[in-house]
Amino acid sequence: MPDGQRDAYTNSELNGYAKSEVWCPVVGLCRIASILLSYCVDRRRSPDSCMFRLILLLVASALVCRGDATRAADVAVAASSVAPFAAPEPPERRTKVVEEVSIQYSVGDEIYVEELERQLKDFQFEPLAAHSRAEDLITSRRSENLAAMAGMLGLDEPTPQMEKTYSGFEDLLANSATFAFDQNLRRPTSFGLWRRTELVQRLQAGEVVPGLTLKGSQGLSFTLSLTSEKKIVDPKAFWAAHTFPIFLGKSSPEEDIRTGLVHGKSAVDGFARVRENFGPFVVLHETAEVGIVTRYIRSTDRRWFCDGVANYIALRVLEQAVGPEEARKYYDLEVELKKFAREASSVDLVNWPNLSGKEKTDFNKRLDTASYAFATKAIADICRRHGDDILPRLFAELGKTDIEQASMRHVYTAFTDLTGEDMKDYLKFGRRSPELKFP
């Protein structure tokens, strides 16, 4: 071995370990455990390769404990130079079509295919109620909703971009509604039977599996994607792009398939729940936000203001349509504030990063979600004190500045000119009571 390479080991921790008769065995065991985790958990290396390295490192640890650091270094270098064997190839994937249902599986899992065939004959994806209060709120009240939002934004009429956004989300809700009552769409026509370790290995190797992505190093995420661009007209084409996964190996074939089908029905029903529970609020929020960023301000520091105003306007429009109590079924600000009470002192709306900034800084997800609620509270507190007409007055002032130049500095200045107050005083959540007390 080259002297330089040996010295790199002998002059490291090895000699230090060798000098201690008491701690040396402990150090050796910790070293072994570390290597065990590093190599054996690594799914891209074969077990044979990992075991060979471990044997060499056991020998090196024994030599260290005997005080022979030089020889231990030689063995350690040998262990580090062992080339990993190629990972075993995943099993062949096959497809079986049964009565227009496509089942993808790996060789050796045929018994699960037979079980899925058997259970699909009796499993029902029962349709839900076709009529929707959400559709009434969005489609039937389209003109009233758009006019109300435009008014609160200081506009004579909704902008073309607001109209387009509203229409797009109408289609999105319509697609969600289809999942509630269209029997052809509710029943998946493409299933993928997977063992988790094999699926992770394939995704790590760059293989594309429709609807499935890696989440972290070992996690998995399945997404049923609906867009606001077009309506679903071909259930087969939709499910071809969203092969529904059923995971194997947790229990018996019968139980694994039953669990997978139940999860599938739950995911499909989730679209109906999205539509009914908060679909209308999302439509109104996104439409209002588009009005703000296409007419008044699009600077990178706008986030808390845009999201707070959009949330508040969406809530007020719903209250006008169905009353405050019913509107809280779609968005309950007090519940949200209680949920994130512990985050209040950490919320910093002025420096709340936009979406691209959040990804770059690994911004805390819970704090990010909490910031929506507190941004809404800030606008609600302002309107509680000055009335809802403060918003169109504020936007009228902001509109005097070219949108390419406008930033939150102009918003703060305009607010001070209108009220004599500093808008940032409404953002000090951790240093004041949850509710402002006004005379």
Span 296-431 CATH architecture: Orthogonal Bundle (1.10)
pLDDT digits (tens, 9 = 90+) for 305-358: 999 999 999 999 999 999 999 999 899 999 999 999 999 999 999 999 876 655
Judged against a pLDDT cut of 60, whether residue 43 lies above it is answered with no
pLDDT at 62 (0 to 100): 62
pLDDT at 432 over 90: no
Tokens of 41: 């958990």
Q: Which uninterrupted H or E stretch holds 437?
A: none
Cα separations (Å) of 126 from 71, 130, 179, 261? 71, 12, 10, 13
Q: In the beta sheet, which residues pair with residue 97?
A: 102
pLDDT in tens, 2-30: 444 434 433 444 344 334 433 444 455 44
Number of Cβ within a 10 Å radius of residue 191: 24
pLDDT attached to residue 190 = 87
pLDDT at 434: 39
Q: Which residues have a Cβ under 8 Å from the Cβ of 1 and sit 6 or more positions away?
A: 73, 74, 77
44 or 88, which is more confident:
88
The dihedrals phi and psi of 222, each to the nearest 5 degrees, come to: -115, 130
Give 182-235 as a DSSP string.
Answer: -HHHHS-SEEEEE-HHHHHHHHHTT--BTTEEEETTTEEEE-----SSS----H
DSSP class per residue in 238-307? HHHTSPEEEE-SSS-HHHHHHHHHHHHHHHHHHHHHHHHHTHHHHHHHHHHHHHHHHHT---TT-HHHHH
For residue 19, what is the DSSP state? T
Task: Give the rounded distance of the alpha carbon of 40 from its chain centre.
Answer: 30
Nearest-angstrom CA–CA distance, 421 and 428: 14
DSSP state of 126: -
pLDDT for res 104: 93
Other beta carbons less than 10 A from residue 204's beta carbon: 14
Q: How far apart are the first and last CA of the chain?
A: 84
Between 64 and 420, where is the model more confident?
A: 420
Residue 259 has pLDDT above 60, yes or no: yes
- Range 206-230 burial, b when 16+ CB lie within 10 A, else e: eeebbbbeeeeeeebebebebebee
- pLDDT tens, position by position, 176-193: 766 666 666 777 888 999
Give the pLDDT confidence score for residue 150 in this predicted structure: 97
Rounded Cα distance, 320 and 146, in Å = 13
- Residue 105 class from Cβ within 10 Å (0-12 exposed, 13-18 middle, 19+ buried)? buried
Per-residue pLDDT tens digits for 114-154: 999 999 888 877 666 656 677 788 888 999 999 999 999 99
Q: In what order do the strands lie in the sheet with 190-194?
A: 93-98, 101-106, 190-194, 244-247
Task: Please compute the mean of the pLDDT values over residues 70-78 and round it to a whole number.
Answer: 59
Identify the residue with better confidence: 69 or 263: 263
Token pair for 272:
């109906």
Q: What is the mean pLDDT of the chain?
A: 79
| 268-283 average pLDDT score | 77
| Higher pLDDT, residue 39 or 280 | 280
Say which DSSP state 44 is in: T
Burial-class residue 245 by CB neighbours within 10 Å (0-12, 13-18, 19+): buried
pLDDT of residue 78: 57
Please work out, in degrees rounded to the nearest 5, the angle formed at the alpha carbon of residue 352 by the alpha carbons of 348 and 353. 155
Q: What pLDDT sits at residue 37?
A: 46
- Residue 245: closest CA among 204, 298, 199: 199
The torsion of the CA quartet 89, 91, 92, 98, rounded to 10 degrees, works out to -160
Predicted pLDDT at 210: 78
What digits encode the pLDDT tens for the residues 343-393? Answer: 999 999 999 987 665 555 566 888 999 999 999 999 999 999 999 999 999
Domains of the chain by residue range: 3-80, 93-270, 296-431
